[in-house]
Amino acid sequence: MRPTEVIDACVTANQLLINDVAQLTERDLREPCRLPGWTRAHLIAHLARNADSVVWLIEGAMIGETRHQYPEAGARERDIEAGSHQAKDALFQDLKSSCRALELAWDELDDGLWETLQLLGSGPRTLSEITFRRLREVEVHHVDLDVEYSSADWPDFYVEEELRRQVENLPTRAEHAVLVEWLLGRRDVPALGPWT
């Protein structure tokens, strides 16, 4: 089933991101973001390539093909690096056109294909789940961009849906007894394994 609420939230998130990126100067783009080793330009290039990768997966589903999000080893990193060196106007247009292409792909996807599996680094996921993961990418990385957008700006829909998902997955990320002890206020926050 088409995840209309997630798509709508993502369209809004894309636009808020684009609006903030439009305000950045060339100098701002070359400054570090909150992700170690990346500039704001790297992060914007990543978000553009991520949108392209989701389009690639949707196009695969439309022709009955199961695809890897990044089919060529090292392509993701190489494309982000190349994109990060674009001048401001080119990088801005890259982000805008990638977001728009993704929104058009969502519009064109038949309702019966949303549960089609495609391959992410974390394993097979439905296109519906991949759409939520795109919302996560935009919301979390908008904060990482360090442009006065914070988790306090996240829409309630995203926060509640992300919280539900993270709580469901919490038992897979730490020893259960340790988690219970923490939840009872009897210990500090435990070290968590990676989230997927």
Residues 6+ apart with CB under 8 A from 44: 21, 29, 83, 84, 91, 94, 95, 145
The predicted model gives 81-108 an average pLDDT of 97
User: What is the pLDDT, as a whole number, of residue 193?
Assistant: 82
User: What is the pLDDT, as a whole number, of residue 127?
Assistant: 98
Residue 122: which pLDDT band, with cuts at 50, 70 and 90? confident
User: Does 170 have pLDDT greater than 80?
Assistant: yes
Residues 6+ apart with CB under 8 A from 186: none
The predicted model gives 9-31 an average pLDDT of 98
User: What is the pLDDT, as a whole number, of residue 121?
Assistant: 87
For residues 61 and 110, is the Cβ–Cβ distance under 8 A?
Answer: no
Question: pLDDT tens, 58-87?
Answer: 999 999 999 999 988 788 999 999 999 999
For residues 101 and 16, is the Cβ–Cβ distance under 8 A?
Answer: no
Residue 95: which pLDDT band, with cuts at 50, 70 and 90? very high
Q: Is 148 helix (H, G, I), strand (E, B) or coil?
A: coil
Rounded CA-CA distance 47/196 in Å is 18
For residues 123 and 196, is the Cβ–Cβ distance under 8 A?
Answer: yes
Residue 192: which pLDDT band, with cuts at 50, 70 and 90? confident
DSSP output for 66-124: --BSS-STTHHHHHHHHHHTS-HHHHHHHHHHHHHHHHHHHHHS-GGGTT-EEEETTEE
Rounded CA-CA distance 142/47 in Å is 9
Full set of structural domains in the chain with CATH: 4-150 (1.20.120.450), 155-196 (no CATH)
Rounded CA-CA distance 14/134 in Å is 10
Q: Is 132 helix (H, G, I), strand (E, B) or coil?
A: helix
User: Does 175 have pLDDT greater than 70?
Assistant: yes
Residue predicted with more confidence, 174 or 110: 110
User: What is the pLDDT, as a whole number, of residue 196?
Assistant: 65
User: What is the pLDDT, as a whole number, of residue 48?
Assistant: 98
Residue 191: which pLDDT band, with cuts at 50, 70 and 90? confident
